[in-house]
Every structure is written in C-alpha cells, then in structure tokens.
Amino acid sequence: MQKTHTHIEHVIMRRKGGELIFPTDFRGKGTEDAIKKALSRLTQEGVLKRLAHGIYYIPKIDPVLGELRPGAEDVVKMLAKKEKIRVKPAGAYALHQLGLTNQVPTKLVYITDGNPRLFKLGKMQIRFKATTPRKLSTIGKISSLVIQALEEIGPENVDAKTELKIYELLKKEDPKKLKHDLALAPAKVNDYIFKLLRKQENDRLVETNKRTT
C-alpha cells in the first residue's frame, strides 16, 4: 500500500495544476483498492481534489481568480482521449452550442462509441449516450451540430427565425464537409436541410433579380 501511495504521489507531483487524474492512470502499480485508498488519502491531504466519482484533479491556483476547476468540456475531452472513444455534443447541448437557444442546459449529452455513462460535475450532469458509428462519422464542426440539433427538435418544429439561423450557420460550413455529413444524416434531416438550402438560395436569387431590374 505504501509503495503504491509513494509512486502515485511522485507521479502527481510531476504533473501540472489543473490536470485530471483517474484511478486507471495507475493500473499495474498496485491493486485497485490500494490505488483508490492512495487517491483518497492524497485528496484528504489537499494534493488532489475530487471532481466526480473516479475523477480527480490537481489544484491550480490563479492569483486573481483563486482555484480554477476543470470545466465540463475539458473533462469530456480528457475522458474521450483517455478511453480512446469518440464523442459529439447532442440534444439540447448541440442547440446551445449553435446559439439556437439561450437556455443553458443542466445536462450535457454526448453521443459516443464508448460505454454509456452518467456522472455529475457539481450541479451539472454529463451523459454519454451510445450510438452508431454512422452518427459519429460526421466531420463538419457546424454541420455535425446542426444534424444533432435537428434530431433533437425535429425539422417539423423549426420556426422561421430558427430556420434562418440554421441557414446562416450552414453557409459557414465547408461545402465538402456539409455534403459528406448530409449523406450520413437521417432521411428527414437530410431532406429538410437540402430543401432549406435550395429555398434560401432561390429566395436570394429572386431578391437580387428585383434589385437589378
């Protein structure tokens, strides 16, 4: 036990403030029980802080802001990297990231090819929802979020104001990436986006013709 504790403490002392620590970082350096006890003791000593079940972090102090806790997105990225899985924002969180809603979600939902899980960071819930490889194969930063957002609200429920916002967002996407992602989208989402782009372009063409005549 003491050997495990000493090893873990030495490893942590060499890492930077703000870094996340997981029990699995020390597999092979002691039993699961010994690792958990070492992390618990280091937490009691203030060397570590517990962020969520099975997730710790090394305290980082800013001279002005005080202690800086890792953000939810940082935790998700680190988990994805550590577990070698893919994650993409989904549901209400995708809507929020696109600016299609001002409501800050209290639950961040991500689709993943890893194991489903639910954990809390303070008052924030984070859910990893298992999905198909197809849904995780989208490559456009904007189009990926738009597809997930439309799956959440349903194309039939999009009002005119939101529709215009979606169009303006899609205009910023790389056309090749958009084409790639549309081929992977559910049929009703694909059809909606295709018709939206065609309609908006036609409307703009008509408006341009009016100005030149």
Name the 3-class secondary structure at 53: coil
Neighbouring residues of 12: CB distance < 8 A, sequence distance ≥ 6: 21, 42, 47, 48, 58
Do 68 and 57 form a contact (C-beta atoms < 8 A)? no
pLDDT digits (tens, 9 = 90+) for 101-123: 888 888 999 999 999 999 988 88
Tokens of residue 42, six digits: 């280091």
Helices (H), ranges, the chain: 2-13, 32-44, 72-83, 91-98, 141-153, 160-171, 175-182, 187-212
How far is residue 7's CA from residue 21's CA, in Å, rounded to a whole number? 14
Do 12 and 21 form a contact (C-beta atoms < 8 A)? yes
Burial label, 207 (beta-carbon count in 10 A; 0-12, 13-18, 19+): exposed
Domain ranges in the chain are 2-67, 72-137, 140-213
Task: Say how many C-beta atoms besides its own lie within 10 A of residue 198's C-beta.
Answer: 10
How far is residue 100's CA from residue 146's CA, in Å, rounded to a whole number? 10
Mean model confidence pLDDT for the chain: 89
Tokens of residue 96, six digits: 């929020």
CA nearest to 42, candidates 1, 75, 93: 1
Categorize the per-residue pLDDT at 5 as very low, low, confident or very high, splitting at 50, 70 and 90: confident
pLDDT digits (tens, 9 = 90+) for 125-182: 999 999 999 999 999 999 999 999 999 999 999 999 999 999 999 999 999 999 999 9
pLDDT score, position 175: 93
Fold of the domain built from segment(s) 2-67: Arc Repressor Mutant, subunit A (1.10.10)
Strands 20-21 and 107-112: unpaired
